[in-house]
Amino acid sequence: MKSTVGSGNREEQGGNAGKPGLRLSFSLTATCVNSPIASPRFSDLPSPLHSKDATPFSFTLKGSPRSPPSTGLLSPRKPLPKPAEVQIDLSEESRDQPEVVYPITPAQALKLYSCQLSEFERGEMTSYPHLYFLGLACSKRSPEALGSNLGFDDSHGDYIAVVGDHIQYRYEVQSLLGKGTFGLVVKAVDHRNKEVVAVKIIRNKRRFHQQGAVEVKVLQMLSQRDPEDRMGIVRLKASFLFRHHLCLVFELLSLSLYDCIRNGGFKGLSLNLIRRIAIQLIVAMRYVKANRVIHCDLKPENVLLKHTNKSGVKVIDFGSACFETERVYTYIQSRFYRAPEVILGIPYTASIDVWSLGCLLAELHTGVPLFPGDSEQDQLQCMMEVLGVPPETVLERSTRRKLFFEETGPKVVVNKKGRKRVPGSLRLENVVRSPDPSFTDFLSQCLSWDSCTRISPDSALQHPWVLSGIAQLQQAVSPV
């Protein structure tokens, strides 16, 4: 069986960050039907602001619908196919051998299932003292001496995941959740801990391994310093090497904010819901910054709901993250959310995440990206069209000024649609069209050209728009 899943990308990703963007399509090869396993129900995780579950919500659409631009970059992306609902059965392999109780040893596996295992597995499993899942119902891939990584990888170095097969003789692959240049993410059952997880399998290339190691280091530190899981950062459960691939095991979350926008017809979410999400993201950003980490790729796709139909969220994908003292890459962030200092070649700080937050919140409100540039030059033109020309105090620090400016001012750029953008011709309040002026003011402080004057996470929590939302949350959870 072979299923193909579309996953279009709306904007360019920073190439040196190790994950420059998602390809438009990919495929998952399966040689057997899905195993009868489904996700168990998880208890709600605590909100960053209080210990009770996040309050239920529905996606409320506002105003008259705004159709997204007709450019292919902004067109709705095809959703991933929904995995079939199946029942949990953690004893799948024991039905033919009811006396076998997992975990088993390699010696027991060889005695009982030698004929059902590949020759490679019969040698590989001896490195694992306990085996929790063998994937016996799945046709095994035969290693190829001339194939990439003995035939386990495709030509790009991505692991060829097979539904129903195992990872590390513990995790059962259920379905594909996503794929990018970093590798792929699969939904899997952890047969040791009896839970469903997400496993990120990093591409078998040196630079991706190196960046993956940084992601592990960052997430381990953030998790250890947040034992009560209140800061809104995805939890890393484990990491290991399997068949030359670095694998990261995460808690399984729900829809992304982009999915929420798409499911609402790209018309935007209610302002009250946006504020609840914003508060959690600011708390997460304050925590990340306090630990001297820069996320470097905050966008709707990288913020997931903890549970469907609840407003609790978590920040994911630290694959481009870095420590403030160990900034390796100069070109980062997905284009629509890229801070001006990154484009202009100015040394960046954690303030770039605040810029991305402003772009993200504006998109949640309108349903479409705030600065939908079709190239790096057009991206800066989009910013100037709304915010005006950057001040000279910013431009004088730019190492790439001549790429975008002449002595008389910004270079005239015609985008792919034949449009010339005029600096200062639009106003932020007219683009966002929010009935709440305090929301527009908050966005304007996130979108300051100068990173030194851009609002900080600490100050953001004191902004009137945010404070009013915090008061509502506190009132909602206070005893009657």
- 190 near 168, Cβ under 8 Å? no
- What does the pLDDT read at residue 86? 39
Assess whether pLDDT exceeds 90 at residue 65: no
Residue 67 confidence class, pLDDT cut points 50, 70, 90? very low
Residues 228 and 290 in one domain: no
The model's pLDDT over 109-143, given as tens digits with 9 standing for 90+, comes to 999 999 999 999 999 999 999 999 999 999 887 77
Among candidate residues 212, 234, 251, the one where a domain is terminated: 251
Of 43-47, 205-209, 302-306, the least confident = 43-47
Asked whether residue 445 carries a pLDDT value surpassing 60, the answer given is yes
Which of these three, 195, 230, 251, is where a domain ends?
251
Cβ atoms of 367 and 344 within 8 Å: the answer is: no
The whole-number pLDDT of residue 476 equals: 65
Q: Cβ(257)–Cβ(298) under 8 Å?
A: no
The average pLDDT across 326-340 equals 89
pLDDT for residue 234: 98
User: Looking at the structure, do residues 208 and 308 belong to the same domain, yes or no?
Assistant: no
Residue 83 located in a structural domain: no
Q: What CATH code is carried by the domain that includes residue 243?
A: 3.30.200.20
Residue 91 has pLDDT above 60, yes or no: no
Residues 148, 264 within the same domain: no
Predicted confidence band of residue 451 (pLDDT cuts 50, 70, 90): very high
Rounded CA separation 72/9 (Å): 10
With cut-offs at 50, 70 and 90, classify the pLDDT of residue 13.
Answer: very low
pLDDT computed for residue 28 by the predictor: 36
The arithmetic mean of pLDDT across residues 162-186, rounded, is 96
* DSSP assigned state of 225: T
CA 398, 403, 404, 407 torsion-angle sign: positive
Question: Quick one: average pLDDT of 185-209?
Answer: 97
The verdict on 323 and 430 lying in the same domain is yes
Q: Which domain holds residue 376?
A: 257-477
Output the pLDDT for position 473: 76
Residues 120 and 266 in one domain: no
> Count of domains in the chain?
2
Residue at a domain's end among 217, 234, 251: 251
pLDDT band at residue 74 using 50, 70 and 90 as cut-offs: very low
Q: Give the CATH number for residue 356.
A: 1.10.510.10
Residue 165 DSSP SS3: coil
Provide the pLDDT for residue 430.
97
Is pLDDT larger for residue 288 or for residue 139?
A: 288
Residue 262 sits in the same domain as residue 246: no
Report the chain's mean pLDDT, rounded to a whole number: 83
Indicate the pTM of the whole model: 0.80
233 plus 288 within the same structural domain: no
Give the DSSP H or E segment for 179.
strand 171-180
Residue 352 lies in a domain: yes
Give per-residue pLDDT as tens, 247-280: 999 999 999 999 999 999 999 999 999 999 999 9
Q: Is residue 23 part of a domain?
A: no
295-309, 322-336, 403-417: which range is least confident on average? 322-336
Q: Does one domain contain both 353 and 461?
A: yes
Residue-level pLDDT at 100: 87
Evaluated on CA atoms 422, 428, 432, 434, the torsion sign reads negative
In a domain? residue 4: no
| Same domain membership, residue 449 and residue 348 | yes
Q: What is the H or E stretch that residue 15 is in?
A: none
Please give the pLDDT value at position 146.
66
* pLDDT tens-place string over residues 218-236: 999 999 999 999 999 999 9
What was the pLDDT predicted at 477?
Answer: 56
Q: Kindly state whether residue 78 falls inside one of the protein's structural domains.
A: no
The answer to whether residues 344 and 407 belong to one domain is: yes
Predicted pLDDT at 301: 97
The answer to whether residue 70 sits within a structural domain is no
Residues 165, 138 contacting (CB under 8 angstroms): yes
In a domain, 49, yes or no: no
269 shares its domain with 203: no
pLDDT value, residue 140:
82
403 vs 102, 377, 399, 406, CA distance in Å? 62, 8, 9, 8
Element (DSSP H or E) covering residue 209: helix 206-224
Helical residues (DSSP H) of 411-461, grouped into ranges? 428-432, 437-446, 457-460
* Positions marked active-site: 297
Q: Are residues 144 and 162 in the same domain?
A: yes
Q: For residue 19, is it within any domain?
A: no
Of all residues in the chain, the percent with pLDDT exceeding 70 is: 78
Grade residue 148 by pLDDT with cuts at 50, 70 and 90.
confident
